Structure 1
Amino acid sequence: MTETRAPKPDLEWLPAALDAAEAAPDAVALRARDHALLRLVAGATVIDVGCGTGRAVADLGRLGARALGVDLDAGMLAAARARHPGIAVCSADATALPLADGEARGYRADKVFHTLPEPLAALTEARRVLAPGGRIVLVGQDWDTMVIDSDRPALTRRIVHARADTIPQPRSARAYRNLLLDTGFHEVSLEVHTLIFTEATTRPLLDGHATAAHEAGAITATEAEEWMREQAIRATTGRLLIAVPMFLASATR
C-alpha cells in the first residue's frame, strides 16, 4: 500500500523567496563583509563561482572590480543577464574555470561548496586562477545547524537533519578552514554570522525541507503537512523564526 505523499512546494515562489532572503538586513551585511575580505583592487579580475542571478557580480562591478560570474544553471544565467544587463557571466564548472593561471585577484563562492562532489578539486582550481597574494572568500551554511522555531522540536530536528542528508556536502562549511589549509592557502580566517529571517516571504523555503524529509522517509506525509501548516500560521501571525549560521572563510593565495 502506497502512503499518501506530502504535497510538493510550488516552485513558482522560489525566486521571490530567495530574493526576500537575500534582501534581509543580515544577508546584506554578510555580503558587504565578504566583499571587504576580498580586498578589491580597482580593475582587477574577480570571479564569482556559482553566481546565480548575478547580484554579487553586479555589486563587485560597481565597486570597481572586473567581475566575472560563472554558473552551470542556464536559467540562473539567463536571470542574471536579464536583471543586470551588461554584466559578464558564462557557463563553467568550478573545477574548470575560464581563466588563465594567476589571472584573478579575487575568488568568491557563496552557498556553492555544499553542492560540489569534490570541494578540494574546486579549491585546487581556485588556487590555479588566483595570482600570488590574491584573495579567496567562501560563504555557506552548515545544513545540520539550521534553527527553526516550532511547537514540535523533535520533528523539526528530524526535518533539518534529513534535509541535510540530501545535500552532497552538507557540512562543507564547517570544513572551510581545513580545506583552505589543505590546498595551500595562507592567512586563513573563519567567521560565523547568523542570518535571522522572520518575514513571511521567506517561509516557503521551509516547504522544501519538509518535502525532502518526507521523500527521504524521515517523516510521514501527515507530519510534513502538519509541520508546513504550523509554519504557514507562524508566518501569517508574525511568529516565524529561521536562524541560519553562515560560515565565512577567507584566505590568501
Structure 2
Amino acid sequence: MSTLLAMLDAFDDLPQVRDLRERSYQALGDTVVDVGCGGGRAVGELVARGVRAIGIDLDPAMIEIAIERWPTSEFHVADATALPLDDGSVTGYRADKVLHVLAEPERAVIEARRVLAGNGRAVLLGQDWDTFVIDSDDPELTRALVHARADGMPNPRVARRYRNLLLDNGFTDVTVEVHTIVRTDATSLPMLANIGGAGAWLDDQVARARDDRLFVAIPIFLASGIRAD
C-alpha cells in the first residue's frame, strides 16, 4: 500500500470524516460519478445504498486498488477534465480532495456541468492547504512549513474558491459549509511528517502524540450546486 493511500485510509476512517462523507452523498440521485475516487470507498458506499456509482481516477494504481476492494463497482482511469461519460448522463457529481491537484480546476467544474442531467447536483469537498492548524513549540516554523507544503501544489487554496467556481460555471442554489476535523493522536503523524519532514519539528509532534498533547485541526469545505439548464 502506498504512503498516500495509507494516509487517505486513516483520514477516511475518522468518525468526523465518515459523517462528512455521508453528508456529501445527500441529494445526488441514483447515478453518481465520483471524481478522484482514490481507493474507491465512496463508490463502494454509494453502491451499497443502491446507487449506480462510477469511480474516476487518473492514477491507474489507485483504480487497481479500488477494483480489488470493490469488485462489483465500476471504475475508470480518466482525467477530471475529460470524463468518459455522455452529456447529461448522471444525476450527481462528487469530487473529494481533488481540485487542488489540477492546474485548471474550472475545467473540471465545466466538465461536471456537462455530464450532469438537468437539476443534477455537484458536490465539491476539500481542504484549504493554507489553513491547517497545528499546535507547535515553534509557530513561525510551523506556519512556514504549512505554507511551503501548500505552495508545492497547483491550487492549494482552491477550496475557498468552490462557491465562485460553481457560480461562474452554470450552477445555482450554491451553498458552502465548513467542517473542522480535529486530530489529537498518533494517526496524524504520517501527515505531519509529509508536511515537516524528519527533524526537530516532527520530533516535537511525536512527543506530543506520546504525551497526549498533539493538536491538529483541518477545515474541510463542502460546496454544492444545482446544474442550471
Give the TM-score category using the shorter length.
Answer: over 0.9
Aligned to 1:221: none
Give yes or no for contact 1:177–1:188 (8 Å, CA) kept in 2. yes
Q: What TM-score do the two structures reach when normalised by structure 2? A: 0.95
Q: Which has the larger radius of gyration?
A: 1
Aligned to 2:217: 243
Partner Cα separation in structure 1 for residue 155 and residue 28 of structure 2: 29
Aligned to 1:199: 185
Shift of 1:78: 1.2
Shift of 1:200: 0.8
Partner Cα separation in structure 2 for residue 90 and residue 196 of structure 1: 33
Partner Cα separation in structure 2 for residue 40 and residue 104 of structure 1: 9
Sequence identity percentage: 55
Partner Cα separation in structure 1 for residue 18 and residue 191 of structure 2: 18
Q: Quick check: 1:131 aligned with 2:117?
A: yes
Q: Spell out the pairing of 1:82-101 with structure 2 (5 A cutoff).
A: 82-101=68-87
Shift of 1:14: 4.2
Aligned to 1:61: 47
The alignment partner of 1:163 has SS state of helix
Q: Spell out the pairing of 1:103-142 with structure 2 (5 A cutoff).
A: 103-142=89-128
Partner Cα separation in structure 2 for residue 153 and residue 23 of structure 1: 28
Aligned to 1:29: 19
Which letter does structure 1 place at the counterpart of 2:160? Answer: R
Shift of 1:236: 2.0
Aligned to 2:201: 227
- Aligned residue-pair number: 227
Which letter does structure 2 place at the counterpart of 1:244? Answer: I
Q: Quick check: 1:186 aligned with 2:172?
A: yes
Q: What TM-score do the two structures reach when normalised by structure 1? A: 0.86
The alignment partner of 2:176 has SS state of strand
Gaps of 5+ in 2: none
Which letter does structure 2 place at the counterpart of 1:115? Answer: V
Q: Spell out the pairing of 1:164-183 with structure 2 (5 A cutoff).
A: 164-183=150-169
Q: Which has the higher contact order (CA 8 A, sep 6+)?
A: 1
Which letter does structure 2 place at the counterpart of 1:34? Answer: S
Which letter does structure 2 place at the counterpart of 1:236? Answer: R
Which letter does structure 2 place at the counterpart of 1:22? Answer: D
Aligned to 1:214: none
For 1:72, which of 58, 67, 77 is the aligned residue? 58
Shift of 1:13: 4.7
Which letter does structure 1 place at the counterpart of 2:7? Answer: A
Gaps of 5+ in 1: 1-10, 212-223
Partner Cα separation in structure 1 for residue 2 and residue 79 of structure 2: 26
Q: Quick check: 1:150 aligned with 2:136?
A: yes
**What is the RMSD of the two structures over their aligned residues, measured on CA atoms?**
1.3
